[in-house]
A and B are shown apart, each in its own frame.
Chain A
Amino acid sequence: MTGRPQPLVVGAGPAGVRAAEALANAGLRPLVVDEAPACGGQIYRQRLVDDGRSTRDLYGSEAPKAERLHRDFAALARRIDYWPQALVWNLREGMADIALAGVSREVAYDGLILATGASDRVLPVPGWTLPGVFTLGGAQIALKTQGCAIGSRVVFAGSGPLLYLVAWQYMKAGIDVAAVLDATPLMAKYHLLRGLVLAPDIVLRGMRFAAELRLRGVAIHYGIEDLAMEGVTRVEGVRWRQGERERSLACDGIGYGLSLRSETQLADLAGCAFSFNARENAFLPQRDISGRSSVAGVYLAGDGAGIAGADAAELAGERGALALLEDRGLPHALERAADLERRLSRIGRFREVLEAAFPYPGHWAKCVADETLVCRCEEVSAGTLRQSVRDFALDELNRLKAVSRIGMGRCQGRFCGAAAAEILACEIAKSVDAVGHLRAQAPVKPLPLALKPGRARTAAE
Chain B
Amino acid sequence: MQLFHRIARSEHRPISFTLDGTPCVGREGDTLLTAVLTAGTAVRSSEFSDAPRAGFCQMGACQDCWVTLANGERARACTTPLAAGMEIFTGTGAAA
Contact = CB atoms under 8 A, between A and B. Distances in A.
Interface of A: 35-37, 42, 47-49, 51-53, 119-120, 128-135, 137-139, 141-143, 146-152, 173-175, 233-234, 252-253, 263, 376-379, 409-411, 414-415, 445-446, 448-450
Interface string B1-44: 10111111100100000000000000011110110011001100
Contact of B61 (A119, A131, A174): A119
B4 A150 contact: yes
A131 B59 contact: no
A414 B4 CA distance: 25
B51 A129 contact: yes
Interface in B50-92: 51-64, 66, 73-74, 76, 78-79, 81
Contacts of B53: 129, 131, 376
20 contacts: A51-B9, A119-B61, A129-B46, A129-B51, A131-B52, A133-B56, A134-B58, A137-B58, A139-B58, A141-B78, A142-B58, A143-B7, A147-B9, A174-B7, A233-B52, A233-B94, A378-B48, A379-B49, A414-B61, A449-B74
- From DSSP, what is the main secondary structure of chain B's interface residues? loop
A96 B94 CA distance: 40
Contact of A149 (B7, B54, B61): B7
A261 to B, nearest CB: 10
A14 B77 CA distance: 25
Contacts of B58: 134-135, 137-139, 141-142
Contact of A148 (B1, B4, B28, B52): B4
The range of chain B's interface size is: 35 or more
Given A138-B57, A411-B62, A449-B73, A234 B41 contact: yes
Nearest to B76: A446
Contacts of A151: 3, 5
Contacts of A51: 8-9, 12, 29
User: Which 4 A-B pairs give the minimum distances between C-beta atoms?
Assistant: A147-B8, A131-B54, A410-B63, A49-B29
Given A48-B81, A141-B59, A142-B58, A148 B38 contact: yes
Given A131-B53, A376-B62, A53 B8 contact: yes
B41 A137 contact: no
A147 B28 contact: no
Contacts of A415: 56-57, 61-62
Given A147-B6, A147-B9, A414-B61, A138 B41 contact: no
A138 B55 contact: yes
B63 A131 contact: no
Interface centre among B52, B62, B76 (most CB of A within 10 A): B62
A152 B61 CA distance: 25
Given A129-B51, A137-B58, A409-B63, 10 more contacts: A47-B29, A51-B12, A131-B52, A139-B58, A146-B31, A148-B38, A233-B52, A376-B62, A445-B60, A446-B76
B8 A376 contact: no
Nearest to B75: A448
A378 B8 CA distance: 35
A234 B62 CA distance: 18
Contact of A119 (B1, B12, B41, B57): B57
Contacts of A146: 4, 9, 29-31, 33-34
Contacts of A135: 56-58, 62
B84 to A, nearest CB: 14
A411 B61 contact: yes
B73 A448 contact: yes
